[in-house]
Amino acid sequence: MNYKATVTFCNLKPHNRERKSLKPREEGVVTQGVGKQIARVILHGFHGHYQGFQAITEQAKARFVARDWAAIQAAAQARISFYDERVHECVVTLQGKLQTETLDETLWTGVRQQYASFLQFHPQAELAETFFNSVFCKLFHRRYFHNQFIFVESTLAQHIPVAVETEYQSYFPVADGVRETIRQIVQDMDLGAPFADLEGDIQQLLRAFTQQASVKALSAHQFRLDVLRSPFYRNKAAYIIGRIVTEDAHYPFIVPVLMNRDGALYLDALITDVEQMLVIFSFARAYFMVKTRAPSALVRFLKGLMPRKTHAELYSAIGFHKQGKNEFYRELLEHLAHTDDQFIAAPGIPGLVMMVFTLPSFPYVFKVIRDHFPESKPFGRDTVLARYQLVKRHDRVGRMADTMEYSEVALPRNRFPPELLKQLQGTIGNTLVLEDDLVIFRHCYIEKRLIPLNIYLENADDDTAKRILRDYGDAIKEMVAANIFPGDMLLKNFGVTRGKRVVFYDYDEVQYLHEMTFRALPHTESYEDMLGADRNVSVAPGDVFPAQIATFVFPNPKLRTHFCALHPELLTPEYWQSQQKRIHQGIMADIFPYPQSVRFRGKKKPDKMSG
């Protein structure tokens, strides 16, 4: 299918600088050599990007062994912007050699064809296509973003795929026995430090398999183990990921590896429940660092373990978030081509900063910054952009939804009912353009659609409400432990996932916790006095009065009572101040992306561990 691009990536402007060499036209005849040179320049730019990206990634092992947790997070932040920097460098190189105010269609058709031929047996072909798209979209106008010039559809389907086997190693217990096979797997991971008690860990691992795995009572000759060659690093953990293969089925597993206070390794748990694995790979967590030569093969392996995860989600989870955006774009195109429902305003209380709309049949929301904010939001558009970028680069600890940021998002006009289009024009008119049969949003965030917490609680029974309120408080505590102050803690700014986890998704008031000042309210004699106490208190920017949180967040007295009973510490300035102290001391909190119930017992706990 030859789609005309309906979602694009870049906000493009023409460039006015003197050009030299590689002239695209010679008396109207485009030379094949020029097209080949351009294709080589872009591919060289991609190779520079991928080599640098992998260099940062491969250093994760050394940081893990050194227990340099701050460096691990700094590297994760740096890697977020690495792609855009390499694209910019490539664009500058081409602008210095080409006339890019106008598009030579014959030339660039040839460039795309030549570039595609270079990728026929390229191990990162899909990433190289995305890099090409990004460079082209920075050079030329959106009207050229279609199959003739960019890779709206991937060419991977036309080539022999990279074998999945390149990313994993198979082990056969029938040859060496189960214990020796597990020992060999751990040794092959080459984690760079000794184990405190590997034999004891293996014993606990085997015991856990018999207790929780759906495959039981297998003899050594009845199965093999396929294990990804490289461990997945994130924060203070390394993860061994693989599957048990029998004649009847595949059974996925994840084994987290942690470090104790003495710098020795130990196996911490066994995860065989796919639902728990989905939480480890959640869209609300930081990206993994994992060495891979063939990302498409790695993603196909992971997709086999977690079928509910999309290719877009898996590419993002392993650090290729730009490829994740591209894959999402293709998923959206495919969905629009096979559905006919119309966009609606997102359910819930409308935000004061964002206009949010969604397609009922598609599990995402589209968020556009409003033209004007009310007085209660004393900041501007640039602050909102900065705060969303802060969260993107920060450790999201499983509690803050990942966002995909796009420019020039063009959607079919016939999918917008007149009343919604009128509402959008009245609230985000400065960001919206109507062009022929398209509605174009100059800037847009796209997030997973969740059930707003306030709506969820309205329909929950008492036991469910208590369970979700406990998780809501836990979500706040985990963000606080990661040096994030959510700012606006109203229930409408949180959502409930399919797995019944509470996740924060509204970032316009997010700040670093260490920048806030937490204060006690003056003593009052009555509840009414407490509500009005702040009228006589001098309040500076950044001042927060925790005692008011429950009153502000929970107009429903029953929910307020439950919350106060579940999380009384959140209502005291001492709690928040103690968390600030830990952050100033450089302490990283223990936040596990898997249940405590699956952890092995009797081991030294890590000095600090974060999932």
Answer yes or no: are the C-beta atoms of 46 and 16 closer than 8 Å. Answer: no
* Spatial distance between the Cα atoms of 293 and 519, rounded to a whole number of angstroms: 52
Q: How far is CA 192 from CA 195, 227, 263, 557, in A?
A: 10, 18, 11, 54
What's the token pair of residue 230? Answer: 């490289």
- The answer to whether the annotation marks 346 as part of a ligand binding site is yes
- The answer to whether the annotation marks 490 as part of a ligand binding site is no
* Spatial distance between the Cα atoms of 584 and 397, rounded to a whole number of angstroms: 19
Choosing from 104, 273, 402, 488, the catalytic residue is 402
* Spatial distance between the Cα atoms of 256 and 239, rounded to a whole number of angstroms: 4
* Spatial distance between the Cα atoms of 105 and 30, rounded to a whole number of angstroms: 10
Q: Residue 601, SS3? A: coil
- The answer to whether the annotation marks 605 as part of a ligand binding site is no
Q: Residue 319, SS3? A: coil
402 is known as an active-site residue: yes
Is the torsion defined by CA of 110, 112, 114, 116 positive or negative?
negative
- The answer to whether the annotation marks 241 as part of a ligand binding site is no
- The answer to whether the annotation marks 350 as part of a ligand binding site is yes
- The answer to whether the annotation marks 347 as part of a ligand binding site is yes
| Per-residue DSSP letter, 561 | H
* Spatial distance between the Cα atoms of 271 and 281, rounded to a whole number of angstroms: 12
Answer yes or no: are the C-beta atoms of 469 and 563 closer than 8 Å. Answer: yes
> Which residues does 357 contact at the CB level (< 8 Å), separation at least 6?
343, 344, 345, 346, 365, 366, 420, 424
- The answer to whether the annotation marks 367 as part of a ligand binding site is yes
List the one residue out of 130, 108, 109, 107 whose CA is nearest residue 119. Answer: 130
Residue reference for tokens 């203070």:
236
* Spatial distance between the Cα atoms of 404 and 389, rounded to a whole number of angstroms: 10
* Spatial distance between the Cα atoms of 177 and 426, rounded to a whole number of angstroms: 69
Binding-site annotation: residue ranges: 346-352, 367
Binding-site annotation: residue ranges for ATP: 346-352, 367
User: Catalytic residue numbers?
Assistant: 402
